[in-house]
Structure formats: structure tokens, C-alpha cells
Structure 1
């Protein structure tokens, strides 16, 4: 039976998500409605992407009885409010990363999902890619030996002009926009909580980070090294280095290929979609949509790929990095 989707917001990420979902089997996914604060924008979105209904408020979307699950693609400060609204109206929820602005909010949202007995997942789509699943097997099979170091660089000079990254009131900064991907990559590789975190960074006039260096220690000389930037375009690659060799993941947040331990390249091409995407490899959002369907149809309340505890830990790491470099949101009080 098709999973009935509602879409909260009509921005670039939700456009890419719906465009990707439309590459999946129509018997598995049904795009029921989209909501935006501007009804005309929602109507244009619905017409373009073949969504059945359009609403001018998130409350209307939450109250639509035809919808099973809502994808929340709003700006960071609205994640808690909009996702809670959907949960309280009986909807399962997939929330764009970061789950919330801080661990306190994330805990509140997860508690709400548990009270409502509904599925909730942070949209860390990277982990659903076949490339990630392949590297996971390589790690678990001992091909890399013991993982010693994870090095991740993620930066785009073009972000210096993006309000969602540069403005404090929008929950900006590279830690929440880019760092969440780098942090999850380290956590995914090491599968344990950090022993210590050391971070330095450069802040803009808004008091949000535009350049960050982080070293996460996991004990036993295991370390995650992270660099994020909204000032410079970086290599945007992850290297997972073990005692027997390394695997390199280009475009690590949405990889369709990896360089394996023996130096060979392995690829997993994405299908073509009806429209061009706004961001790199966004057709891969189809993998997380399928993951959500599988979980909900199996009556699971969280995904094994991105558990609630994992999202809380990632939020805790984000909070600690922001604290060390001096980034504070009003929601942190």
C-alpha cells in the first residue's frame, strides 16, 4: 500500500525531495499534499510536481486525514514547532537535518513522538545510500582493520551569501548546516560516543560560525577530524582510515561512488528524474523516503540507520562545538 506523504514547506530541499520521490514506484509512495505559508507558492509547487492538494498553512496539512507521514523541510528554527504539530495530529514525521537547533529541543521532539507512538526520523539521507551500506559491510567484515581516523572536509564558498547559514535568527552556521553531515559520518564509522571534543572556529558579525575545525577523540588513539567552511570550497570528501588501509568517499554526504581499499572505484548511479535538482545527487533522497516507508509499514517508531539516541548524540556534539566556539541561539536559553 502506498505511503501517503504530506510536505511541509515549498523550498528547494522539499522540491528535491518530491522530485526524488517521484522516481519511486507509485504503488509505494503517494504525494497527497504540500503546505507553505504562501498558498500560491504551495499551489505552484503542487502543480509542478503532481501533488494532489495545496494548503496555505501547516495546520491544514496536519489536519488532513489522508496523510500518514509528513516531511518537514522548513528552516531550522521551525523544525520543533512544525514537527510537533504534525505528531500531535497523528502524523509520522521525517525532519530535515539538523533534527532541531539543540539537544534540548531534540529531546522534546523525540519525547513527543514516543508519547504519540509515532515514527520520527532525522533526515540524515547519507546513511541510506547504497555506497554507505557497502562501506558499512567493509568495516564490519574487518576489511579496513580497526578504524583509527575519519577525516571529513565540507565547505562551499557560495554559502557566505546564504541567509540560512549566515543569520543567527535562522539557526545559521556551518556546524548545523554542514557539520551535522561530518559528525554523523564520524559517528557512523566509530559507532561510539566521543571521549572529548576540541573545536575552534571563526564567527561572522551575526555570531554564527563560518569556518570550523573540530577534533573528536574516541579513545585508544581513535579520532575524527572535521573541517567545515562557508568561506572556502573544500575537498568535500571523507576518508575512513583503518589499520589495514582506507576508503575514500567523494561527495560523502550523498555519494554515488567510493574509492575502495584496493584503489578501485565502485559506483551506484542514480536514476533520471523529471526535473533538474537544486543540489548534488538529490535524487538520492529517494533512499530515505523508501527507508521511512519500510519502517512505518513494519510498525517501527525509529530507523535502525538513524536512531533517536543517535540523533540526540549528534545534537549533543553540535551543542558542545557551538559552545566551544561561542555560537549561541536564543533557543539555547
Structure 2
């Protein structure tokens, strides 16, 4: 039986998610409803993707008995509110990254999901790509020897307008840094012993650029750099005592380079053009959600609740050190 999806918000990322679902087996996935705060946008979205039901409020989506799981593609500050609404109405939830604005909200949301016995996952789609699964196995099999460093750069000059507003949960830490942080955690799989960060803030008091080091002890370190002012290499390098993996387009990689040799995993073709790079790869996280829910699991082993809490904690610490504070941090 197909997993019945509802989609909260009808923006660019929701478009890409629905488009990616169309590349999966339709006996496994079906979008049955979409909601936006502007009904006309929801109706336009529904028409494009042949969705039966369109709503002009998230409450109506939450109350739809036909919806099993909701994908939340709202702006960052709305993640906690909308996800809470869905969980309170018995829906399983997949929330776009970052899970919430801060660790405090993330803890409340995860607690609610556990108490409600419902599935909840932060949509860190990177980890479900075949490339990430391959990297994990290479590390576990000792191919790289002892991994000593992860270096990640992520920046686009064109992002400045998108993430410069504090009331929209702006800043590179939550928009870009989450990807770099999660990769460091994916590789080292442990709690950092210290974090040091510097940054450049805009007039709104959110970060345009950040440089941070995440120290895991035993000479293991993650170095990340983010920018909304300059386009960076947007590549990750994972180095060990026996070898190195280079990951171009590291947040959604369809290929990696292992000691000079490239390995690729091409994506499927979809009906419509995607808004963002390799967004067809959103299909991987959708399939992970389906498998988990059908197996009766409340979390994914690839993006556990504890991992989301730790990532949120690291985000909070970096923001604290560079002086970025949101109203909901109070």
C-alpha cells in the first residue's frame, strides 16, 4: 500500500520533493494533500502534481484523515510550530533541515514524537544518498585508516538575500552549516569535546560568514566554512591515515573521488525541472521514511533523534560564539 503523503507549504523545496516522489514506484508513494497559507498557491501546486486535496491552512492538512505522513517545507521559524501541529493530530513527520531553530525546540519536538509514538525525522537528505552510505562503509571497513580530519566549504554569493533576515531564521549556520556539521558527525560519530567559531554578521545580526573547528579529541577535527557573500569550493575532504575521499557537491553528491578514482551514482529523470542541485535525490529520504514507517520504527538509524539534537546543539554553540541570537532563543 502506498504511503500517503501530505505536504505543508508549496514553495520551491516542496516542489522539488513532490517532483522527486514522482520518480518512485507509485505503489509505494502517493501525495494526497498539500497545504499553504495561500489557498491559491496550494491549488496551483495540487493541479501541477495531480494532488486530490488542496488546503489554505496547515490545520486542515493536519485534520485530513487520509494523510499518514507530512513533509514540512516551511521557513525555518515555522518548523517547530507546524511539526507540533501535525504530531498532535497523529501524523508522522519529515521536517526540512534544520529540525528547529534551536536545541530547546528540537528537544520538545522529539519528546512529543516519542510520547505520541509517531515517526519523526529531520530531512538531512544527504545521508540517504548512495554516496554517503558508501562513505560510511569505507570508514567502517578501515579503508581510510584512522580518519583524522573533515574539511568542508559551503558558500554562494547569491544566497545573501535569501538568508539575511533574522525573523526568517536567517544566517549561514542554519542554512548551510547544518550540512557541514552533519557530515562531520556522519564521519566521526561522536560528541565533540570543544567547538571554536568566528563569524561576520550583517546589520540584522545574522551570520553572513562563519569559520568553525569541531574538535573530537585524539587529533580528530572537523573544519567548516560557510558564506553567503562568496561562492566557495562547496567540496568536502575526508582524510585518514591510509587515504582520502573528496566529495564534490557534498550536500547531495552523485559522485565521490576515492584516492583519485571517481565513483558515480546517477539520478533518475523527473517530469519537471528541479529548482535546486540534484533535488531528485530527495527520493532517497522519502523512501527511507516509507521503510521506517512500514517497519514500525519511530526514527531512522541514518538520522536519529539523538543526532538531530547534537547537530542542533552544535549549531547553537556556534551561533552563541559569533553572537547570533533569535527571538525564539529566549
Q: How many angstroms apart in 2 are the aligned matches of 1:217 and 1:40?
A: 49
Determine the C-alpha separation between the residues in 2 that align with 1:121 and 1:222.
28
List aligned pairs for 1:73-152, cutoff 5 A.
Answer: 73-152=73-152
Structure-1 residue corresponding to 2:275: 278
Deviation, 1:283, is 0.2
Give the structure 1 partner of residue 171 of structure 2. 173
Q: Work out the CA distance in 2 between the residues paired with 1:215 and 1:318.
A: 12
Give the Cα separation in 2 of the matches to 1:305 and 1:290: 13
Using the TM superposition, give the Cα deviation of residue 61 of structure 1 relative to its aligned residue in structure 2, in angstroms: 0.2
Shift of 1:51: 1.5
In 2: Cα distance, 1:50 partner to 1:284 partner = 21
Asked if 1:320 corresponds to 2:317, the answer is yes
Q: How much has 1:299 moved relative to structure 2?
A: 0.2
Distance 2:51 2:126 in 1: 25
Taking the aligned partners of 1:103 and 1:175, their CA distance within structure 2 comes to 13
Distance 2:30 2:106 in 1: 28
Q: Equivalent residue for 1:298? A: 295
TM-score of the two chains, using structure 1 as the length reference: 0.99
Q: Identify the match of residue 286 of structure 2 among 289, 296, 312.
A: 289
Alignment map for 1:242-257 (pairs within 5 Å): 242-257=240-255
**TM-fit CA distance, 1:138:** 0.6
- Tell whether 2:24 aligns with 1:24: yes
Distance 1:306 1:252 in 2: 17
- Please say if 1:330 is aligned against 2:327: yes
Query: 1:50: Cα distance to partner?
Result: 1.6
Q: Distance in 1 between matches of 2:53 and 2:262?
A: 43
Deviation at 1:56, TM superposition (A): 0.3
Unaligned runs of 5+ residues in structure 1 are none
Superposed counterparts of 1:149-160, under 5 Å? 149-160=149-160
Q: Structure 1 stretch 45-54 or stretch 192-201: which is displaced more?
A: 45-54
Measure the CA separation in 2 of the matches of 1:48 and 1:319. 38
Deviation at 1:52, TM superposition (A): 1.5
Per-residue CA deviations over 1:64-94 (Å, capped at 9, x if unaligned) read 0000000000000000000000000000000
Q: What is the Cα deviation at residue 307 of structure 1?
A: 0.2
Deviation at 1:160, TM superposition (A): 1.1
After superposition, what is the alpha-carbon deviation per residue over 1:11-34, rounded to whole angstroms, capped at 9, x for unaligned?
000000000001100000010000
Q: What is the match of residue 8 of structure 1? A: 8
Cα shift at 1:116: 0.7
1:209 aligns with 2:207: yes
RMSD: 0.4
Distance 1:316 1:271 in 2: 35
Match of 2:42 in 1: 42
Q: Match of 2:256?
A: 258
Moved over 6 A (4+): none
List runs of 5+ in structure 2 lacking aligned partners: none
Question: Take 2:279 and 2:49, find their aligned partners in 1: how far apart are those partners?
Answer: 15
Q: TM-score, normalised by structure 2?
A: 1.00
Tell me, in whole angstroms, the C-alpha distance in 2 between the residues paired with 1:217 and 1:185.
14
3-state SS of paired residue (2:238)? strand
Please give the secondary structure, in 2, of the residue aligned with 1:166: coil
C-alpha distance in 2 between matches for 1:176 and 1:240: 22
Aligned pair count reads: 330
